[in-house]
Amino acid sequence: MFATFTAPSFGPVHNRPSSGRTCRCGIHHDQDDDALGTPLNPDAYDYDAAVLWNAHAGALWRRFSIALRREVAKRAGLSQRRLREHARVSFAKVAEYQKRGAVHFHAVIRIDGSTGGDSPPPPWATAELLTDAIRTATAKVRVDGPAVDDRTHTFTFGRQLDVRTIRSADFNDGQELTERAVAAYIAKYATKGAETATGALDRPLKFAAELAQLDISDHAHRLVRTAWTLGARKSLEHLRLRAWAHMLGFRGHFSTKSRRYSTTLGALRNARAEWRRVEAAAATANGRETETTYVLAHWVFAGTGLSSAEAWLAASLEPAPGTEGEPTRA
Ligand SMILES: [Zn+2]
């Protein structure tokens, strides 16, 4: 299954209702309107809860993954211990920021046979059973957060939950969500990583003074400031909100998978890059114009400039003036 787990509401925001009606502010927002996802009334928006949600989303996911195994076992008529002898429930998930700056999760959830990987799932492990277990577990899980100014916070997923069956490409009629499409989707987010954050920053803040100079939206600014302010509280020390203020309080990993999940996100990335390479090569062979940009998210420290020996080597490899030929194709 492919499921999207949303964050709860922290106050009404500007949106584009799927019904086609106008936003509550009376405007039909364009798809790329910067107002989308920002609060209708910023002073009434629950910024504390929004930041604390991001800080607890990872813990809520962990509870969900435990609860889901329990719900699957229950539907199979097995104890959790016995479940492991029959089936494995595995996950691959990515965290993504919604426009309003709240983290939500996309996950591929699968049931395999007892040895995981390629072992076939037991006959009772239907898409319907898994969907039902996902819905029940999602509605049940909660994490008790901290009390801030005598107000207690409890975190649950938002009411909107999208669960779709992933069909094997072998059975695809062109309409269904296929394994291939989901792998591409997950890989896209795995490679995009942290920079999908809503107007967020790419590095931790060191000083409160930096806040004033950030070139980000008012809404993102308030989220960062809220994280920074809450981060000063002794009782919230464990959340390390100042260190993660630039991520609006979220300190989890952007993509994680259970150990048993059959492939690694690195493998997905490589497969995607390889597919693009082959596609580009085929396009060239067909004489079509092609422009392919390789986007690789892995940065490796290669060194700091050239050593004197490398500099000599580099200089000696440069073509002599006037002999530059056609740029070589890799
Ligand atoms: Zn609006």
Beta bridge partners of 90: 110
Tokens of 300: 């490796």
- On the question of pLDDT at 301 being above 50, the answer is no
* Burial of residue 198 (number of CB atoms within 10 Å: 0-12, 13-18, 19+): buried
State pLDDT tens for residues 133-150. Answer: 999 999 999 999 999 998
DSSP-based helix, strand, coil % in the chain, nearest 5: 40, 15, 45
In this structure, the number of other CB atoms found within 10 A of the CB of residue 199 comes to 21
Residues in the chain: 330
Of 65-74, 157-166, 250-259, where does the model show the most confidence? 65-74
- Rounded to 10°, the helix 127-140/47-76 angle is 140
* pTM beyond 0.75, yes or no: no
- On the question of pLDDT at 288 being above 90, the answer is no
Of 84, 89, 94, 116, the C-alpha closest to 1 is 89
Q: How far is the CA of 4 from the centre of ligand 1 (A)?
A: 24
- Structure confidence at residue 195 (pLDDT): 47
- Structure confidence at residue 152 (pLDDT): 92
Q: Which residue has the higher pLDDT, 235 or 198?
A: 235
Three-state secondary-structure class, residue 317: helix
- On the question of pLDDT at 162 being above 70, the answer is yes
Q: How far is the CA of 199 from the centre of ligand 1 (A)?
A: 19
Q: Taking residues 165-181, what's their average pLDDT?
A: 62
Q: Which residue has the higher pLDDT, 188 or 235?
A: 235
CA 325 to each of CA 137, 262, 319, 329: distance values in angstroms, whole numbers, following the listed order: 64, 47, 9, 12
Separation CA 248–CA 266 (nearest Å)? 26
Separation CA 250–CA 280 (nearest Å)? 37
Q: How far is the CA of 31 from the centre of ligand 1 (A)?
A: 12
Of 7-11, 174-178, 241-245, where does the model show the most confidence? 7-11
- Structure confidence at residue 237 (pLDDT): 92
Separation CA 71–CA 129 (nearest Å)? 9
Per residue in 61-96, is it b (16+ CB within 10 Å) or e — as a string? bebbbebbbbbbbebbebeeeebeebbbbbbbbbbb
State pLDDT tens for residues 36-87. Answer: 889 999 999 999 999 999 999 989 999 999 999 999 999 999 998 999 899 9
Give percent above pLDDT 90 in the chain.
Answer: 35
* Residues lying with their CB under 5 A of ligand 1, a single-atom ion: 14, 23, 25, 27
Mean predicted lDDT score pLDDT of the chain: 77
State pLDDT tens for residues 84-122. Answer: 899 988 877 778 888 888 888 888 888 888 887 668 889
- On the question of pLDDT at 296 being above 50, the answer is no
Q: How far is the CA of 14 from the centre of ligand 1 (A)?
A: 4
Of 9, 138, 152, the C-alpha closest to 61 is 138
- Rounded to 10°, the helix 47-76/218-230 angle is 80
Chain position carrying tokens 């009411």: 159
- Structure confidence at residue 99 (pLDDT): 81
Q: How far is the CA of 250 from the centre of ligand 1 (A)?
A: 26
Separation CA 330–CA 327 (nearest Å)? 9
- Structure confidence at residue 168 (pLDDT): 64
